[in-house]
Amino acid sequence: MADGTVKTYHGKKAPSNAPEMADNVLPKLVADASQLTGQTGQFYQWVAAKIGTQSTGENLGINYQDEASGALQLAFYGVSIEAQQLSVHLTCRYPIPVTEDQLLTGIKAAMLPGMTLTVKRRYPSQVTDPTLPFIQQPSAIYAADTGLDGTPVTTTGVTYARALPNIIAFGPSFPGQKGIAHKGDEWLQFSDWQMMMQIYYDSLLAVGTGT
């Protein structure tokens, strides 16, 4: 703190593609730091007002959404200082129809004078026609084995589906599984694992027999 005291913050981690499930400590730190004076305080006041605990970018003016992709996901994952310059670090997963230029234009419009925006990493959106036979087949097998809706969905992850043409990420998921991956004590119910093995077996059998 400004008076030399040390404060500890506690929170809860969540995957970057489910930021709304986290108890992020950074907005708590930012709220305290916004009490500082000068440009430092102004910076933290801006972060608190424009980002804070939001995970869909409302106050930045980028809260896009569509039916296929869902809502934009904004994850606030860091604040740093280097060469006497403060930086805020974000990841953003945005709907397929939205362009990077649209996104960056919206963020820049919300920035304070003197701020700069740097894109460290980018992955263009990718979508495959869900009516293609090689997508319809595993979808039908999923529905038959589980009794659930097998309609394919888009994800916000960067998967192996980007590596080759005509390939999809086929990883069956089930109700109640959101937010269980990519963190400490990652887990999976044994019954879900058994069902996944059944779906994979039936899918490989269908590919092998051409049915």
19-110 has which fold?
Alpha-Beta Plaits (3.30.70)
Number of helical H runs and strand E runs in the chain: 5, 4
Q: At what angle do helices 38-50 and 26-33 cross, to 10 degrees?
A: 140
pLDDT of 180: 73
CB-based contact 160:103 (threshold 8 Å): no
- What does the alpha-carbon distance between residue 59 and residue 50 come to, in Å, rounded to a whole number? 5
Burial class (CB in 10 A: 0-12, 13-18, 19+), 125: middle
Extract the tokens encoding 167. Answer: 């390939």
- What does the alpha-carbon distance between residue 187 and residue 197 come to, in Å, rounded to a whole number? 16
Instruction: List the pLDDT tens digit at each of the 211 positions of the chain.
Output: 667 788 899 998 877 777 888 899 999 999 999 999 999 999 999 999 999 999 999 999 999 998 888 899 999 999 999 988 999 999 999 998 999 999 999 999 999 999 999 999 988 887 888 899 889 999 999 999 999 999 888 777 777 777 777 788 887 788 878 767 766 777 888 999 999 999 999 999 998 786 6
Give the domain ranges of the chain.
19-110, 133-209
Please state the pTM of the whole predicted model: 0.80
